[in-house]
Amino acid sequence: MYGNTGKVAYINCTTRVVEEVSLQEDMYKKFIGGSGLAAKLFWDYADFNAAPFSERSVLIFANGPLAGMPLSGTSRMSAVARSPLTGAFAESSCGGYFPPQLKYAGYDGIIITGKCTLPSIIHIAQGSFNIISSEELWGKTIDEAYSTIKERYGGRSRTLIIGPAGENGVAYACILSDAHHAFGRCGLGAIMGSKNIKAIVIEPHQTVIKYFEEQKVKRLIKELTPRIKEYIISQVLHEFGSAGNLEGHMYTGDVPVKNWTSNFNEEMAEKLTGSTLTEKYLTKTGTCAYCIIACKRIVKVDEGPYSIPEGPGPEYETVAALGCLLGSGDLAAVCKAGRLCSEFGLDTISTGATIAWAMEAFERGDLTEKETGGISLQWGDMQTVIDTIIPSIARKEGPLGHLFAQGSKAAAKTIGKDSINYTAQSKGLEAPMHDPRGGGHGHALAYAVSPRGACHVSTAMHFMETGACNYPEIGFEFDLEALTDEKKPETMMLATAIGSIENSACFCQYADRSLTFAEMVGILNAVTGYNYSLQDALDAGWRIYHLKRLINHRFGLKASDDALTDRMLEPARDGEPQGIMINFNGMIQRFYELMNLDHVEGIATIDTLHKYGLEQEAALVWKKGK
Ligand code: SF4
């Protein structure tokens, strides 16, 4: 097998048995790797009756075929499970240095089930897996655990670690790789915590990966590296990080402010944007393995109430979620709040969105000090956010901690009073920091039909709608107007396939923006020898998307779950998009037609599933009489 290793490790934490599972090449050809392979493994190995925190639930990590090759943007992997936040299919992707090491160790993925009796780590060395009891690490922040693990296993070991939030079952706890890169979304950290796994540690391995066309792979790396480096988006990312365009986004109305009640704030635009971060607090840049762009931020705040030592700094989503959304333009406070989330292991988007919803609920009187345990919530009060709210959530302390740790949808259901209407989420996953009302109406469609819930990275819609890429070789050369529904369902159809391929080959969506679709497929073919045509690749992307929808259907989701909240669809109150309505129903109906999705069940028709080679899956889901 080329590119891939052809095997995954199956770990049962209850029995402590680790098995090596060989996978057929056909599975890789159909599902590529990463997100697609993980979804297929989930389909095959998940107990669909198991609750997210059940001992029988599975947590799966999967590399793409490109992991380990020395090309910018290829060092990513996917993780999937059943989400404790949404009850649906959970997935998240993460960069860093862990993916190449897993490939060098001889594995394409890890399937974890069962539950360790005691808090433990999974240790991978010389190609073998061991479960080691590590009670002393339980309760430690991610930074503290990372330091101990590094001392114990050496500076070149790579880690996936959860913090107290994951241990305590916070529904949006994340997993951090090397205390910096995050599997942020959907609560995968809490799944790992429910299995009593504090960390997965991998020591360096030396295996050489075989490529189908060695010379071509070398040539492509040589040709593409300078282009990726010189691309304007790469340069902005390097200089200013992913928040580099926050100011620009604010002026288009793309940045949600104060729980999506506003689409514009001039002061925040200037004070929170990436150039301000670079100027005031950046000490150096960070990167993922082999990536020349180095978009990650390392920051230090020397003075004031929010001083922090040198360490990981916030990217765009964190700045907007813990700044703009909470009504704060204090960048030092945002850096500190982001750092706290990293140490506790909390997803910054869901954390910020849940607090922002609660601040509005408090302002309206829907939430009172009775429910918060005496804590007053005020827009922009970062001192309370940092000193009280974030630690309470992570530790699930007091009434506020318990309420907020469920996420905004569940918390809104708990307090009632129609407060669900002003959450910003789909399927229970809080929306990322791009407001479709200003950023582009296609984002609304993308959020609603994404299998994991409101998500802007499971498809390429965000980049396609904002003109960051064009793919004429597959018919995408629309000159799109952001604030209309025109051609958005058609774009979304292509964006779905492209996003599936990016997340399954595990291309970074920043680093691959200068590549044509044909080049992406060309790299995949040179690495694996699968000889995909462009149509084959698109079909693989759609196959993966449909499979994830089938998974959700088995968890009880239907077409009606492809929805957004009232707040996300009400006309914007200010800024560039003020007063404009999104034709959401028109877009989603057309998308359903284009994708042959059943308007009640929310899954593809039998014929469509057969067309994509999902006959067995279709037979299981489309039972007689449905
Ligand atoms: S662009 Fe940033 S996130 Fe993407 S691979 Fe490079 S360093 Fe990692």
Q: Could you report the per-residue pLDDT of 383-392, keeping only the tens digit for each?
A: 999 999 999 9
pLDDT at site 204: 94
C-alpha 409 to ligand 1 mean position (Å): 31
Do 478 and 488 touch, CB atoms closer than 8 A?
no
129: pLDDT confidence band, cut at 50, 70 and 90? very high
177 Cα: distance to centroid of ligand 1 (angstroms): 14
Give yes or no for a contact between 80 and 39, defined as CB atoms under 8 angstroms apart: yes
Residue 625 has pLDDT above 70, yes or no: no
Boundaries of every domain in the chain:
7-202, 236-422, 440-621
Q: What is the mean pLDDT of residues 408-434?
A: 98
In this structure, the residues whose C-beta lies within 6 A of any atom of ligand 1 are 72-73, 95, 237, 287-288, 291, 293-296, 508, 510-511
Whether residue 626 is predicted with pLDDT greater than 70 in this model: the reply is: no
Domain 440-621 has CATH 1.10.3720.10: no
**Contact predicate 296/511, CB 8 Å:** no
393-397, 518-522, 569-573, 619-623: range with lowest mean pLDDT = 619-623
Question: Average pLDDT in the 431-451 region?
Answer: 98
pLDDT in the model for residue 208? 86
**If residue 399 lies in a helix (H) or strand (E), which one and from where to where?**
helix 398-404
pLDDT-derived band of residue 624, with 50, 70 and 90 as boundaries?
Answer: low
Probe target for ligand 1 pocket from 71, 76, 318, 508, with the most ligand atoms within 8 Å of CB: 508
CA-to-CA dists, residue 464 to 98, 481, 587, angstroms: 29, 11, 16
Classify domain 236-422 at the CATH class level. mainly alpha
Whole-number Å distance between alpha carbons of 121 and 130: 8
The answer to whether the 7-202 and 236-422 domains have the same CATH topology is: no
Q: Tell me what pLDDT residue 567 has.
A: 98
Atom index in ligand 1 nearest the CA of residue 294 equals 7
* 368 has a pLDDT exceeding 70: yes
Reported confidence tier of residue 468, pLDDT bands at 50, 70, 90: confident
Tell me what percent of the residues of the chain surpass a pLDDT of 90.
97
Nearest CA to ligand 1 atom 8: 288
Q: What is the mean pLDDT of residues 15-38?
A: 97
- The 3 state secondary structure assigned to 130-152 is EEEECHHHCCCCHHHHHHHHHHH
The pLDDT of 293-306, averaged and rounded, is 97
Residue 49 Cα to ligand 1 midpoint, Å, equals: 37
CATH class of 7-202: alpha beta
Give the burial class of 187: count Cβ atoms within 10 A of its Cβ; 0-12 exposed, 13-18 middle, 19 or more buried. buried
Distance from residue 465's CA to the centre of ligand 1 (Å): 21
Contacts 24+ apart (CB under 8 A), 468-477: 468/233, 468/513, 469/513, 471/498, 471/516, 471/517, 473/516, 473/517, 473/518, 473/534, 474/517, 474/534, 474/538
At residue 123 the predicted structure's pLDDT band, cuts being 50, 70 and 90, is very high
When pLDDT is averaged across residues 313-335 and rounded to a whole number, the result is 98
Atom index in ligand 1 nearest the CA of residue 511 equals 1
- Which tokens go with 488? 């958005």
Residue 427: pLDDT over 80: yes
- The rounded Å distance from CA 69 to ligand 1 centre is 14
Give the whole-angstrom CA distance, residue 113 versus residue 9. Answer: 11
Whose alpha carbon is nearest atom 5 of ligand 1?
A: 73
Res. 103: pLDDT tops 60: yes
Mean pLDDT for the stretch of residues 312-325: 98
Which atom of ligand 1 lies nearest, measured to the CA of 295? 2
Distances (CA, A) of 300 to 284, 314, 332, 435, 614: 10, 11, 9, 30, 51
CA of 242 to the centre of ligand 1 (A): 10
- State which ligand 1 atom lies nearest to the alpha carbon of 96: 8
- Tell how far the Cα of 339 is from the centroid of ligand 1, in angstroms: 19
Pocket test residue of 77, 93, 94, 237 for ligand 1, highest count of atoms within 8 A of CB = 237
Cβ–Cβ under 8 Å, residues 252 and 437: no
Q: Give the closest residue (by CA) to ligand 1 atom 2.
A: 295
Percent of the chain with pLDDT over 70: 100
Identify the DSSP state of 389: I
Q: With cut-offs at 50, 70 and 90, classify the pLDDT of residue 587.
A: very high
CA of 89 to the centre of ligand 1 (A): 25
Q: How confident is the model over 8-23, as a mean pLDDT?
A: 98
Average pLDDT over residues 479-495: 95
Tell whether the model's pLDDT for residue 174 goes beyond 70: yes
* 16 has a pLDDT exceeding 60: yes
Strands 282-286 and 308-312: unpaired
Pocket probe for ligand 1: among 77, 296, 297, 509, the residue whose CB has the most ligand atoms within 8 Å is: 296
- Do the beta carbons of residue 490 and residue 594 sit within 8 Å? yes
319 CA from centroid of ligand 1 (Å)? 17
Distance 102 CA to ligand 1 centre (A): 18
In the chain, % helix, strand, coil (3-state, to 5) comes to 45, 15, 40
The residue ranking higher by pLDDT, 624 or 499, is 499
Helices within 98-141 (DSSP H only) = 98-104
Atom of ligand 1 nearest to the CA of 286: 7
Hey, is 617 helix, strand or coil?
A: helix
CA distance 210 to 4: 8
User: How confident is the model at residue 207, as a pLDDT?
Assistant: 84
Q: What three-state secondary structure class fits 300?
A: strand
- What is the value of pTM for the model shown? 0.97
Angle among Cα 143, 78, 442 to the nearest 5 degrees reads: 110
- Share the mean pLDDT of the chain: 97
User: In angstroms, what is the span from residue 95 Cα to ligand 1's centroid?
Assistant: 7
